[in-house]
Structure 1
């Protein structure tokens, strides 16, 4: 079922608010076009049920449309020293779980700032030494031994810490079982020997296989025609009136100070893509785009009003979860000759002050773009 623009906008705003609280929503929040645009084929729906995001307490999981899953856990909210781990698993029988670790560094930190480029962390579970992890530039790849020990303890109530000298980074296990169970469920592993939470003797043949990444073909845009560079100037008043009828963007309303700046790019012999600032927030903004006919009455179809950048044949949305910029949502679309196709959707994880820009890449929708 497609979401209307008004419904989608409410969900999108809720998504940003949830990011700030570090409790992110499921794939129903992912961007989709309005009913009119979709029915006319101008904007494809985003994730069609294959990818999803889930969070609980200090853990989250994102699974993408290839069925690869990534679970991230963090330090408790009130800890000064921040650490995060990422557990990734490709779909299919017998695939291993890969682990990474990051030490958080957001701004000046007297403890983290004094760490050498390379150092050892002692992994402790309930106060006992389990393994040593080599850290380079605050990042480490976990060995199979470390991942196995971590997975075993995460589904119990345990104290997990990473220690260097007198400094200690605590990893929360609150929410880990729920996140790992979601991974098993999505990949069809429940009841099999390879399940992380509810293992059993069921054959691994029941595990869902990996799915090939879809390919999106992006043809070259037609060359500009004479008069394209003055299209918005020549048709400014009539074009703006038509756009206002199809959108509630505050930046093109008659109450907005000044004259809205419109930009146009040719998509075909009879179609132009017209873009304008849509709204401004405290730390985010968006651009709206319409596909219009090249002659009056233009018949504008609103394609997207949440992009942060629009260029020839492509759109992208980069939105902060909060003003600190430690968590982001990212989406991309590209023109395939008939519609703007959703080619990427991800977040950078919870808002936990791990690092500017966010700690991880957690996609729920991936494609490979073939630019022709």
Structure 2
């Protein structure tokens, strides 16, 4: 059964084709805005609190020439590279544990004028997977059980292109082998039959088991009747952070758009305060107060790479007790960062985070995970 926060990710993915059709042409060369959460200057505390006691490995992203690799706190790993002009991508995903096997996705925009299916060509060898449409101009090829030859060529090939008929997009393989090797080391696969790049005779059973995801317990849902209807309480208006936000977003005597209020418990309110806006990114800060709006406490949200007191394009859903944020790297939504937090009754705990640092037409459902938990 799909959990509520995963339903929110699906909803965001469903909206992507509409944004692509409207925005792709004029925004392809636009510089990205900051994602929803920026990593701290120091990596000393770059993990969720649960990871700091050794229970879970930290989420790490590394760059290897033209390729990037990310492994989350449960050792789910993804390596990806981009096609020319950032119009396409190649992505290799590998879950942790002895039974996991890699999955390969490729695709992008710009091959719609060719005839037939999109396929990959590496050093003259053709690889055809399952084709599907990303939108009216984009295609994705999936290799659910990629051959050893395909993985070998991705790691060791010299020339790769995505092709459809006479149309083609070149893909750099520079750094792919190093990214694969780093994932093999991270997951304990070196020298095993399941390694991405450096296979050996050791059996799959020698690969370490996947780390268990941290568990988060949701608070009980509470009625939302009787919420404040006016603007911020005097105590909130006097808070330094609210004054900072008000100076940036105030129109007349009120915020625009209006503040949102939800009930977390009979004696706790959650306030969402607008705190900046751009072309497609709208920033919010959140406070918890008693039912009378006094003694506001600014919420500091945990992320995979630190903590943050400002979220982007966010909203709390009292039915699921989850808060979703999506900071877009550009308006079409093919890069940026997504996060989902759950209210436990005492705090907001990070449930899921995904980040795509490169704007290369990767569909949101394929973005690398940087944090995952279970409820």
Instruction: Give the TM-score, by structure 2 length.
Output: 0.71
Deviations 1:276-309 (A, max 9, x none): 1012234312111011233475142334421422
CA displacement at 1:99 relative to structure 2 = 1.7
Instruction: Pick the structure with greater CA Rg.
Output: 1
Q: Residue 329 of structure 2 corresponds to which residue in structure 1?
A: 321
Tell me the matched-pair count: 315
Query: In the alignment, is the contact (CA less than 8 A) between 1:120 and 1:133 conserved in 2?
Result: no
User: Over the residues paired in the alignment, what is the CA RMSD in angstroms?
Assistant: 3.5
Which whole-Å CA distance do the structure 2 matches of 1:273 and 1:100 have between them?
40
CA displacement at 1:342 relative to structure 2 = 0.7
Which whole-Å CA distance do the structure 2 matches of 1:176 and 1:319 have between them?
28
CA displacement at 1:89 relative to structure 2 = 1.6
TM-aligned CA distance change 1:199 to 1:255, over 3 Å:
closer
Q: Residue 297 of structure 2 corresponds to which residue in structure 1?
A: 300
CA displacement at 1:125 relative to structure 2 = 2.7
Query: In the alignment, is the contact (CA less than 8 A) between 1:63 and 1:363 conserved in 2?
Result: yes
Query: In the alignment, is the contact (CA less than 8 A) between 1:329 and 1:348 conserved in 2?
Result: yes
Query: In the alignment, is the contact (CA less than 8 A) between 1:86 and 1:101 conserved in 2?
Result: yes
In structure 2, stretches of 5+ residues that fail to align are 1-29, 134-138, 301-308
Are 2:145 and 1:139 aligned? Answer: no
Map residues 1-372 of structure 1 onto 2, 5 A cutoff: 29=39, 45=49, 49-77=57-85, 82-93=87-98, 95-102=100-107, 104-105=108-109, 111-112=111-112, 114-115=113-114, 119-121=116-118, 123-126=120-123, 128-137=124-133, 138-142=139-143, 144=145, 147-156=147-156, 158-200=158-200, 204-224=204-224, 226=226, 228-230=227-229, 233=231, 236-241=233-238, 243-244=239-240, 247=241, 250-253=244-247, 256-258=250-252, 259-260=254-255, 261-295=258-292, 297-303=294-300, 304-311=309-316, 312=318, 313-323=321-331, 325-348=333-356, 350-352=358-360, 354=361, 360-369=366-375
CA displacement at 1:210 relative to structure 2 = 1.8
TM-aligned CA distance change 1:133 to 1:305, over 3 Å:
closer
Deviations 1:39-94 (A, max 9, x none): xxxxx75875443323334322222333222222221337xxx4322212221225
Instruction: Give the TM-score, by structure 1 length.
Output: 0.71
Which whole-Å CA distance do the structure 2 matches of 1:133 and 1:181 have between them?
24
In structure 1, stretches of 5+ residues that fail to align are 1-19, 36-43
TM-aligned CA distance change 1:273 to 1:191, over 3 Å:
same
Deviations 1:139-169 (A, max 9, x none): 222264x542232123335111233322223
TM-aligned CA distance change 1:143 to 1:239, over 3 Å:
closer
TM-aligned CA distance change 1:317 to 1:280, over 3 Å:
same
